[in-house]
Amino acid sequence: MELSEMRGVGPARMESLRAVGIVSLRDLLYTLPVRYEDRTKPVSCRAARGEVLVMGVVHDAPRLSRFNGLTRVTASLQDDSGRLSLAWYNQPWIMQQLPVGEPVMLYGRIAEKNGRRVLQNAQRVTEPSIQPVYRAVKGLPAKSFRTLMEQALKQVEDTCPETLPNSLRLRHGLCELNFALREAHFPANFENLKLARRRLAFEQMLMYQAALGLMRHHKEDGMPLPLPDDAAEAFWKTMPFPPTNAQRRVLEEVRADLCRTRAMSRLIQGDVGCGKTALAFGAIAMTCKAGFQAAMMAPTEILARQHYASAKAMLEPLGIRCGLLIGSMKAKEKKAAHAACAVKEWDAVFGTHALISEGVKYQQLGLVVTDEQHRFGVRQRSTLQEKGTADDKAPHVLVMSATPIPRTLALILYGDLDVSVVDELPPGRTPVRTRIVPEEKRNAMYGFLREEVAKGRQGYVVCPLVDESEMLEDVRSAKETYEDLAHGVLHGLRVGLTWGTQKAEEKAAVLEQFAQGKLDVLVSTTVIEVGVNVPNASVMIIENAERYGLSQLHQLRGRVGRGSAESWCFLLAEENERLKILTQTNDGFLVAQKDLELRGPGDLMGTRQSGEMLQGFLLDGDVRLLEEAAACMKQLRMDHALCAEREAVERTALKYYGEKLKQIALN
């Protein structure tokens, strides 16, 4: 059966499905839930927290109120433990489903604000179940998507035949594919769900490893650079600071790569402040000294300008001519920049996506550096790489990331890259002290921030939302927080506000004011997570810290502690085991390892950096499964007795992922 032949799939819905990459029945069946709602175990009204199922009696008649064009239905639920407030927004029909005195089961999210708990937009539950929750598809309501999935599962045997050899499946204790798909979508119980997701995760990882193995045969020839053996050491001698042992080791690895006939593909990852930029400049300096051009692409104009300013100070004294190319330049400036790139007036070019725009040409581009690589799509990096091949040779590629990834995960996911880890910080870096702050200590925390400002320091306040949301009453917004602070507890201080979708020139102006010390406190969303370097900032306050992943919290924490002063990070949230990890260590790799174990790699990696094959990647925090799948592929390649199994796996990888092979990882 074709996807378009299914009941309820007309041209409009077909277009909606295509927009999220679902073009066949198989695509639909492999679109797995992002999470599950446990509607099997009711809790008492008193104990209700987070997303819960509660059972009780409707205590009083529901009331309907209207405000600003919206409707709100309010009621209350009572059981032996007490009473719980209920609220529904823009769902007036719910009043008919809440007869007073009748027992009901409701599933929803508890919002807490000022000590008051409200169960919001709850759904009535008639029988216990585990409900799948899928990623939203525009134009296709969640209920319709689930109905579509129920239809598709009737065709699962014909649509999704077994992909793993039976002997391999039994050796690793994996259930059959059709059972796995049924139970992954609509599990009968949590035991079946665990078996299903384990099987599908193993298959995904194995196919990914098989595809990487096939890719290795397509490595491009590079241009070996004529570098002397002491080129890396010579660069360090020109710097105003001594390198750490880790920096020295990694730059020597890069130098060796640049001399080879195969184009370098190296990932350098290290924690905030470990000196990755100096390593990039070392690679650029060696490339330019050998007579080639280098280009360094950053995800934001702010970061690109910072790199350019640093390069002028560090590289131009070495005779390396540096230039800047960013999207906000005026037409005349862009034209001059394009000409400087094309005739090699500039040896090293720094910029944003503007580096890969249509009119840009390079002369003997020997090195491509991408910074904060998780912010770029694969195609963007590839386009820059293809811009400047010299004599049909691919340029060397150096990729940098300040998002720490556990080494095991990096080596497996980036199977076609060499991975360098900068696991040492320069001397003099003071670890950031991290504390979890409950609501009742909020004012004391603001008092501490005032004291720091009085000492001449600055601080950040980061919020998850830009604007207030009626649907998320318990979540702080940047605009609301800015108003509260500027006219309340921080009145008299210079408070600024910025967010991601703010006009580029306004955002740049606010960040520049903060960088120059013209603002004491900057209220923002996570827009400041990358590329904001203000050594004078000593306080980071993160609202609703429970809504972020550990690695993102660690990245935000890295915005402070960049100077010599003692710095603090305050996490506004109820204490839990996950957040306590941040109070115990400043080691980003340890934090990332814990994040991986708790949440799986999707939150660490993101589909943009790891290729389409990893979309919906399942690990559920089990690093051992990741290692088992990688070890399985290694065994298939090395054991001649398993040749038939290896060929079967590779055939499947080619059949389903052949078109995506060139997009895996970082090309």
Amino acid code (one letter) for 622: D
Predicted confidence band of residue 606 (pLDDT cuts 50, 70, 90): very low
Domains and their CATH numbers in the chain: 41-125 (2.40.50.140), 242-259+274-401 (3.40.50.300), 433-585 (3.40.50.300)
Percent of the chain predicted with pLDDT > 70? 86
Q: So what's the pLDDT on residue 608? A: 33
pLDDT band at 470 (very low <50, low <70, confident <90, very high): very low
474: confidence class by pLDDT, cuts 50, 70, 90: low
Residue 378 confidence (pLDDT): 45
Q: Extract the tokens encoding 232.
A: 């890396």
Q: What is the pLDDT of residue 123?
A: 92
CA distance 528 to 164: 45
* Measured torsion, CA atoms of residues 9, 14, 17, 22, in degrees rounded to the nearest 10: 100
Please give the residue that has the higher pLDDT: either 34 or 248: 248
Instruction: Report d(CA 103, CA 124) in Å as an integer.
Output: 11
What is the mean pLDDT of the segment spanning 212-219? 64
Higher-scoring residue by pLDDT: 529, 102: 102
Question: Residue 603: its pLDDT value, please?
Answer: 43
pLDDT confidence of residue 392: 67
DSSP tally for the chain: helices H, then strands E: 24, 21
- The structure tokens 């690109």 sit at 304
**Per-residue pLDDT at 271:** 78
Mean pLDDT of 501-512: 86
- Which pLDDT does position 268 carry in this prediction? 87
Q: In this structure, are residues 402 and 271 in contact, taking their beta carbons and an 8 Å threshold? A: yes
* Residue 124: pLDDT band with limits 50, 70, 90: very high
Which of 568 and 429 is assigned the larger pLDDT?
568
Give the pLDDT band of residue 572 (cuts 50, 70, 90).
very high
**Average pLDDT for 587-606:** 64
Show the tokens assigned to 22: 């679902």
pLDDT at 28: 94
Question: Counting Cβ atoms within 10 Å, is residue 249 exposed (0-12), middle (13-18) or buried (19+)?
Answer: middle
What pLDDT, on the 0 to 100 scale, is given for residue 577? 85
Q: How far apart are CA 633 and CA 649, in angstroms?
A: 9
DSSP structural state of residue 112: E
What pLDDT shows up at residue 395?
87
Predicted local distance difference test score (pLDDT) of residue 336:
94
pTM: 0.65
What average pLDDT does this structure show over 326-337? 91
Segment 569-575 mean pLDDT: 93
**Over 90: is that where the pLDDT of 324 sits?**
yes
Q: What is the pLDDT of residue 253?
A: 95
Percent of the chain with pLDDT over 90: 54
Least confident among 83-92, 124-133, 373-382, 456-465: 373-382
Q: How confident is the model at residue 510 (pLDDT cuts 50, 70, 90)?
A: very high
Q: Is 148 exposed, middle or buried (0-12, 13-18, 19+ CB in 10 A)?
A: buried
What is the mean predicted confidence (pLDDT) over 488-498? Answer: 95
pLDDT of residue 199: 94
Instruction: State the pLDDT at residue 614.
Output: 43
Q: With H, G, I as helix, E, B as strand and everything else as coil, classify residue 231.
A: helix
The per-residue pLDDT for 150 is 95
pLDDT by residue (tens digit) across 232-249?
A: 999 999 998 899 999 999
| Residues 161-182 pLDDT 10s | 999 999 999 999 999 999 999 9
- Residue pair 280/400 in contact (Cβ under 8 Å)? The answer is yes
Find residue 131's DSSP bridge partners: 37
pLDDT at 576 over 90: no
State residue 214's pLDDT score: 77
Average pLDDT along the chain = 85
pLDDT at 91: 92
